Structure 1
Amino acid sequence: MSESLYITSASPRAGKAVAALGVLELLARRVDRIGLFRPLIDGDGTRDALVELLVDRYDLDVDLATACPMTYADAARHLESGHQDAVVTAAVEAFTSLRQKYDFVLVLGTDYTGPAASTELDLNATLAANLGTPVLSVVSAWDSEPDDVPAAVAQARHVLADHGCTLVGTLVNRADPVRRDEIEALLVASAPDEPVWVLPDLPVLSALTVDEVATALDGTVLAGEPADLQREVDRFVAGSAHVPNVLPLLDTGVLLVAAGDRADLAVAMAAFASSPDLPTPAGLVVTLGLIPDPLTQQLLRASRLPVVAVELDTYAALHEIEGLRGEIRAGSRRKIAAALGEFSAHVDTERLASRIRFSTSETVTPLMFAVDVLERARADRKRIVLPEGTDERILRAAEELLHGRVVDLVLLGDPGVIAAKAAAIGVDISAAEIIDPARSPLLPSLAARYAELRAHKGVTLGRAHDRVIDPSYFGTLLVETGRVDGMVSGATHTTAETIRPALEVIKTVPGVSLVSSTFLMCLPDRVLAFADCAVNVDPSAEQLADIASSTADTAAAFGIVPRVAMVSYSTGESGSGIDVEKVRLATSLLVERRPDLPVAGPIQYDAAVDPAVGASKMPGNDVAGHATVLVFPDLNTGNATYKAVQRSAEAVAVGPVLQGLRRPVNDLSRGCTVPDIVNTVAITAIQAQSVAPASRG
């Protein structure tokens, strides 16, 4: 029988989605098969925004018909006739059947949109008690005086206790950020033994986006990429006047609503959105089912302005938009990151986890690994420099990392250009420090440091100055002098442009002869480390031993117990030849240098990862069949193998992670995506956590 938790709110719009995201983030690090259950949903039962958000974010295997068995309309018929027991019975039967499939089931309480909102906490308490599920209570502090919050929390506790519910804790959400600490102190004083956590209100979470407008109005997106549709709508105006009278209204965040035949306004909006010197409107809604002409549409697409066409007339569209409220929806990366960042910052997740009953899985899935990487980076936040500050992917990833409180960031580039680019694509990077290498007051000291480090190569102060203006060198020197903890580059630079400055300035760890790389291979049921698949073409036996030692340390840093397989075409003493002899010698050197590591080699790939084959080919060896670190004899073998496993086993390959440097620098692919950048920055931060701080030069 699976374990479970019921999340219920004590009032409408308390922020149950934030609680659900935070709890699932906690669970996803520890539990393999997670299910969702929602006793009641709105509408006709064919979709539910909160379930869709969680399924999309955590890749959950959930069937809506099974997870959400009853609509409010179904429940209303029973409640109006006085048969609440029928609602409870139906929920218990569906839940009992569902929980057989999962290790843990998260139950999502009602949304206070049904016919009996005033008694929904009683209904949720009754359901939780009958499902035998402990409860996390969510109480809104929005628009409340601090003195009123303890009473609201106590009232919710009283209702839950009266129904026999077990309370694991209370999440007070949407508190006035200025008075959050005051509210928390009052809550602790009123009930010092009760676990309660207070989250400040974040405007970004309730901000309306263009995507939400398009969905609510059943609109057709004419222009704008998915990321552009996440722009926030600060206010909306009607395009009912001539262009000179409308232009002054087009401020940043404004959504213009106008008839589809107003090509003059559409062209003006495109011009506004294309200019770095003008505000960036949120988007354009064209009404009456009228579509701008093809040339105007081309101008709008070139401007990156989100454009949505709706069948409603302008007045009706404005009326509909006025009644909308922003939500955290599937695909809202900015809002999700912000919600998780606040949850992590203000909730004692270890205490919460200790109060939720669940069995930790020994399986490590790709989702578990990815969530764990972000949470470990948050736990000891580091400062990372991104030299490619004007790249759109870097800016979108920076916003997500900052909102999620994963790291602190330094972006390199002209501040004006970066700010204009960020505004044009609708991202908020205000929390990042932006440094222009060519104008930074740090330039003289960093140039002097570079000249000192490269004096043996004849580098003068003048040459050093010219070299350090380059963002890759400037960023690397920020790492070397301890001003930042690590660097991630490569979205627009080559691997050589990333690694060369690191080799010149940061250099390798004492005792390690070379920089190498690891791919963290997230298979469906485990995570393996593959090396070297990206840097060294044909390492010697001594270098191969260094690569294996570095990879074992990298694996351990990411929670992978290192069991090292030195891969070859032969296992044990069964083969000979120059290539297998190199692996045999490397194995001997590794065993001599690192007696702490369990090692097998030479060993074939199947004998390294398949327990049955390992027991047959290398009986009695603890690594055979159970290897977690696989070291390949050359780049040709390593690169081909990681790509074959990635494609054939549907594995997620994270990396390459550079290793062997004294301080972490990592390389991106020039085809990297925003999630790739987010993951690589988090990995760099974790690497930095195990490095002793450098003194600032």
Structure 2
Amino acid sequence: RLQVASAHAVHTSLRNCGDYVDSLPALVEEIPLIGCIPWQTKLIAPRVADVVASLTLDVLEAGHMQHRRVRHILMVARTVPNMLYGLEPGALVIVPGDREDILRACALAERNGSDLAGVLLTGGLQPDEGVHRLCATAFDFGLALLSTPWNTYTTANRVARMDVGLPRNDKARIEHTMEFVASHVDADRLLDNIHVSPEMHLSPAAFRYRLVQQARVAGKTIVLPEGDEPRTLEAACTCHEKGIAKCVLLAKESRVRHLAEARKLTLPADLEIIDPDSIRDRYISPMVALRRHKGLTSQMAEAQLEDNVVLGTMMLAADEVDGLVSGAVHTTANTVRPALQLIKTAPGARLVSSVFFMCLPDQVVVYGDCAINPDPDAEALADIAIQSADSASLFGIEPRVAMLSYSTGDSGKGADVEKVREATRLVREQRPDILVDGPLQYDAAANRDVAKTKAPHSKVAGRATVFVFPDLNTGNTTYKAVQRSAGVISIGPMLQGLKKPVNDLSRGALVDDIVYTIAITALQATQKASG
């Protein structure tokens, strides 16, 4: 257990103890200030689902109650104009069940991007069926509608007194707490006083902390084609506040400001907002020049540039930004296809591949390729392994590459195993600096006890940090199985092999997911610049 204390505070407390302080001055002066953790409401913000479970509330509409958090309570008795100030992200609105005017106001606020925690109707009263239907879109957007037989005062009192301790299954809040505490601890002083084994794994919290610190140093500019998407806007604001990257939003400024007002966000002064309609024309000729060999005409380019992802990709191709992040509302294909057509592969790369950073309980490992290449041959598989090892190194993970198969060593035969065996040989030949072994079964690659039996002489087995799957079917299935069944956070997919960094988001991405993807993209841009 790390006890964080201020020497000054301890000294002041001891001085108030009178005579006892005389015997302890030397001890007090030697107490180091390792960290000072500021108050943050987010650390104690329960999910709406936690409130429902704790108080046994009735759920009329679930919305996004498994993800949204209660930041503050708004107990309403006033008319609509006098309560609008409280319709902020994270507000749990507690109101008598017959105040349908308040419910309609909350539904409108939700549709305007306010992201309320939910509406809790009291007195056992429920809205008219027609009013309920009128608010249906807000429920689809994520607004939760709850009910209780208690009166409003009793309800507000019980919610306020609810235990806000950290639930064991609230992984997002646990991760945020760890990262927040880590970001306010003097890591250098802490490391000076403890012994760190060379075999110590890079934990998820340490990985994200290092990622943010390195992105700050990089100072890169990242374009966000989905600039008026609520999560993306909040992530951009966070990146500016923390100095992670300078973001460029492709969106109408009026729309962004309206969204920021609804979500109670303060737009940083240096956050750049560009109206796509004002710049599309300037990229028509450059795009035609890049794709003329494919028969692209000016009219075709103009039509394609109506897509903000294509527009952002052209900004990247023109070196006006350092990287691109998209995918909160677009498919992977929408994000990747323009990059393949306009950015193309880096020198020496045979293909574009992807990796996921899998945040296991005690370490971060790399999975590749789980998103792009359906059935790579031996040469392509070797290229994926080399790219994945280099990506691991870039992000502070010592690469020990396991080339995965259904058999280990010489135990299996067949075309699939031979492909992996040949790919392993090619990696060793092309990059003798990379520690690689294969074919290895997953358990032999990941578990030391199994490795002792199946591959006792391998320097990778049981210690692998980079897992290269033989095909997309295996890789995508495995990463999703681990992510969902074990409750593991995965960051990615991060694209590798492009001349310039472009990264895709899951359409279910949370704000923090987008922030870390922006940080990853910024760090990739440093590699491209130095390369």
Q: Does TM, scored on the shorter chain, surpass 0.5?
A: yes
Query: Is residue 122 of structure 1 aligned with residue 13 of structure 2?
Result: yes
CA 1:607–1:412: 2 relative to 1, 3 Å: same
Aligned with residue 593 of structure 1, among 424, 430, 436 = 430
Aligned to 1:247: 81
Aligned to 2:224: 386
Aligned to 2:374: 537
| Distance (whole Å) between structure 2 residues aligned to residue 209 and residue 630 of structure 1 | 36
Report the residue type matching 2:105 in the other structure.
Answer: M
**Cα deviation per residue 1:412-450 (whole Å; 9 max; x = unaligned)?**
23333333334334444455322232x233x33333321
Aligned with residue 269 of structure 1, among 105, 110, 125 = 105
Aligned with residue 358 of structure 1, among 157, 174, 194 = 194
Matches within 5 A, 1:36-435: 121-122=12-13, 164-169=28-33, 239=78, 247=81, 250-251=84-85, 260=96, 263=99, 266=102, 269-270=105-106, 273=109, 291=125, 293-294=127-128, 311=151, 349=186, 352-353=189-190, 357-360=193-196, 362-430=200-268, 432-435=271-274
Aligned with residue 303 of structure 2, among 447, 457, 466 = 466
**Cα deviation per residue 1:645-686 (whole Å; 9 max; x = unaligned)?**
445655443322211111111122333334433332332222
Structure 1 residue 585: deviation in Å? Answer: 2.3
Aligned to 1:6: 4
Q: 1:210·1:232 contact (CA, 8 Å) conserved in 2?
A: no
CA 1:360–1:639: 2 relative to 1, 3 Å: same
The two structures, once aligned, show a CA RMSD in angstroms of 5.0
CA 1:422–1:294: 2 relative to 1, 3 Å: farther
Structure 1 residue 599: deviation in Å? Answer: 2.0
Q: 2:352·2:497 contact (CA, 8 Å) conserved in 1?
A: yes
Q: 1:341·1:405 contact (CA, 8 Å) conserved in 2?
A: no
Structure 1 residue 472: deviation in Å? Answer: 0.9
Q: 1:288·1:313 contact (CA, 8 Å) conserved in 2?
A: no
| Distance (whole Å) between structure 1 residues aligned to residue 445 and residue 166 of structure 2 | 43
Query: Is residue 670 of structure 1 aligned with residue 507 of structure 2?
Result: yes
Report the residue type matching 1:263 in the other structure.
Answer: R
Aligned to 1:492: 329
CA 1:505–1:635: 2 relative to 1, 3 Å: same
Structure 1 residue 5: deviation in Å? Answer: 3.5
Aligned with residue 688 of structure 1, among 511, 521, 525 = 525
**Cα deviation per residue 1:241-275 (whole Å; 9 max; x = unaligned)?**
xx6xx737845768999983873752673476368
| Distance (whole Å) between structure 1 residues aligned to residue 35 and residue 486 of structure 2 | 41
CA 1:575–1:425: 2 relative to 1, 3 Å: same
Report the residue type matching 1:247 in the other structure.
Answer: P
Unaligned runs of 5+ in 2: none
Report the residue type matching 2:274 in the other structure.
Answer: I
Structure 1 residue 507: deviation in Å? Answer: 0.9
Aligned to 1:191: none
Aligned to 1:479: 316
Structure 1 residue 477: deviation in Å? Answer: 1.8
Q: 2:87·2:109 contact (CA, 8 Å) conserved in 1?
A: no
- Greater CA deviation, 248-257 or 579-588? 248-257
Report the residue type matching 2:309 in the other structure.
Answer: S
| Distance (whole Å) between structure 2 residues aligned to residue 649 and residue 329 of structure 1 | 19
Query: Is residue 453 of structure 1 aligned with residue 344 of structure 2?
Result: no
| Distance (whole Å) between structure 2 residues aligned to residue 643 and residue 287 of structure 1 | 38
Structure 1 residue 384: deviation in Å? Answer: 2.1
Report the residue type matching 2:81 in the other structure.
Answer: L
Instruction: Determine helix, strand or coil for the equivalent of 1:434.
Output: strand
TM-score of the two chains, using structure 2 as the length reference: 0.75
Structure 1 residue 473: deviation in Å? Answer: 0.7
TM-score of the two chains, using structure 1 as the length reference: 0.59
CA 1:164–1:8: 2 relative to 1, 3 Å: closer
Structure 1 residue 532: deviation in Å? Answer: 1.5
| Distance (whole Å) between structure 2 residues aligned to residue 587 and residue 211 of structure 1 | 46
| Distance (whole Å) between structure 2 residues aligned to residue 343 and residue 644 of structure 1 | 29
Structure number with the bigger relative contact order (C-alpha 8 A, sep ≥ 6) is 2
Aligned with residue 627 of structure 1, among 464, 471, 475 = 464
CA 1:298–1:358: 2 relative to 1, 3 Å: farther
Report the residue type matching 2:514 in the other structure.
Answer: I
Unaligned runs of 5+ in 1: 12-108, 110-119, 131-157, 175-201
Structure 1 residue 558: deviation in Å? Answer: 1.6
Matches within 5 A, 1:503-542: 503-542=340-379
Report the residue type matching 1:535 in the other structure.
Answer: I
Structure 1 residue 537: deviation in Å? Answer: 1.1
Query: Is residue 567 of structure 1 aligned with residue 404 of structure 2?
Result: yes
CA 1:662–1:160: 2 relative to 1, 3 Å: farther
| Distance (whole Å) between structure 2 residues aligned to residue 558 and residue 625 of structure 1 | 21
CA 1:533–1:264: 2 relative to 1, 3 Å: closer
| Distance (whole Å) between structure 2 residues aligned to residue 657 and residue 545 of structure 1 | 18
Q: 2:400·2:463 contact (CA, 8 Å) conserved in 1?
A: yes
Structure 1 residue 291: deviation in Å? Answer: 5.0
CA 1:370–1:567: 2 relative to 1, 3 Å: same
CA 1:518–1:500: 2 relative to 1, 3 Å: same
Aligned to 1:29: none
Aligned to 1:42: none
Q: 2:222·2:321 contact (CA, 8 Å) conserved in 1?
A: yes
Instruction: Determine helix, strand or coil for the equivalent of 2:293.
Output: helix
